[in-house]
């Protein structure tokens, strides 16, 4: 598709978009105050704050125009393209966090891929969401992002516990246990630690915080009852997918953390 067609598909220009950003200036003023306090206290974090804000502004601006274009196309090809990009980036991020786990990028990517495909397929088949870009892409992004974080933490925690409890695991292996049996305690601990924040948020949702999807719908004029229904769908979808992804990642990781003779891979234990 040519750039002319891409530009024609957008009903808003850069000038109009930047003019609309005036509404966000109060938030930037507050942030500027926080940066000024950081400067006075010599915390030396104001540059990082400024870089983060400018980067997020550029990224979100580009994403807004790209999504606006994709939503107007009503084409499954664009959903697939965005999905591949998200999975690739999530795989790299989660794998980098657990870099001492052999094939961490592949393990994380495959786990997140399968969890997302299964969850989205179920939601679409039961008509919980329509197969349209403006529904699928945002939900898919939340699902992949949440799964990425939890899967990355799970793999890293599993490796760290395996390193700290190497003697315990090796003793179990010497007594005839399989790698999966020998690491059962470490796997459980890794999953509990990784999933605890999501589970804690689910316990207090609505009591302490109003989640993003629900708040956005309410501010957009939707009924609180309708907003709750959407939030429950999103929250359960994300929790289910991330749990499935993290469990699958531990099963896959156990295949590569040990040699064929049931010995712990040296890279796992000795790499810093």
Residue 14 has a pLDDT of: 63
Sign of CA dihedral 25, 30, 31, 37: positive
Phi, psi of 59 (to 5 degrees): -65, -50
Residue 185 has a pLDDT of: 93
Contact yes or no for 150/106 (Cβ under 8 A): no
Residue 87 has a pLDDT of: 96
Residue 9 has a pLDDT of: 43
SS3 content of the chain, % helix, strand, coil (to 5): 80, 0, 20
What Rg do the C-alpha atoms of the chain give, in angstroms? 22
Provide mean pLDDT across the span 218-230: 83
Check pLDDT > 70 for residue 225. yes
Provide mean pLDDT across the span 5-29: 64
Residue of 14, 9, 4 lying closest to 61 (CA atoms): 14
Q: Is 104 exposed, middle or buried (0-12, 13-18, 19+ CB in 10 A)?
A: buried
Q: What is the pTM of this model?
A: 0.82
Check pLDDT > 50 for residue 8. no
Tokens 């991020």, residue located: 93
Residue of 152, 146, 158, 105 lying closest to 240 (CA atoms): 146
Structure token pair of residue 23: 């509404």
What DSSP character marks residue 210?
A: -
Residue 243 has a pLDDT of: 95
Contact yes or no for 218/144 (Cβ under 8 A): no
- Among the listed ranges 36-40, 71-75, 195-199, which one has the minimum average pLDDT value? 71-75
The overall average pLDDT reported for the chain is 86
Label residue 210 by pLDDT band (50, 70, 90).
confident
Residue 186 has a pLDDT of: 93
Cβ count within 10 A of residue 154: 31
């Amino acid at each position: 598709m040519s750039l002319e067609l891409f530009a024609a598909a957008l009903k808003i220009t850069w000038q109009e978009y930047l003019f609309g950003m005036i509404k966000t200036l109060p938030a930037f003023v507050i942030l500027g105050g926080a940066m000024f306090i950081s400067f006075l206290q010599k915390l030396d974090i104001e540059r990082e704050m400024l870089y983060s804000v400018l980067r997020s502004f550029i990224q979100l601006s580009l994403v807004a125009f790209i999504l606006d274009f994709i939503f107007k196309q009503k084409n499954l090809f664009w959903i697939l393209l965005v999905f591949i990009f998200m999975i690739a980036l999530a795989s790299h991020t989660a794998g980098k966090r657990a870099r001492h786990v052999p094939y961490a990028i592949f393990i994380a990517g495959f786990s997140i891929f399968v969890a997302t495909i299964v969850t989205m397929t179920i939601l679409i088949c039961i008509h919980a969401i329509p197969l349209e870009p403006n529904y699928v892409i945002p939900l898919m992004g939340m699902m992949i992002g949440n799964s990425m974080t939890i899967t990355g933490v799970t793999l890293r925690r599993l490796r760290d516990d395996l390193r700290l409890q190497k003697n315990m695991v090796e003793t179990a292996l010497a007594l005839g246990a399989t790698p999966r049996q020998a690491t059962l305690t470490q796997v459980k601990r890794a999953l509990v630690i990784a999933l605890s924040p999501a589970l804690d948020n689910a316990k207090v949702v609505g009591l302490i915080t109003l989640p993003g999807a629900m708040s956005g719908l309410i501010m957009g004029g939707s009924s609180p009852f309708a907003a709750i229904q959407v939030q429950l769908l999103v929250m359960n979808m994300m929790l289910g997918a991330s749990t499935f992804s993290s469990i699958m990642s531990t099963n896959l990781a156990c295949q590569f953390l040990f040699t064929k003779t049931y010995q712990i891979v040296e890279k796992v234990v000795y790499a810093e």
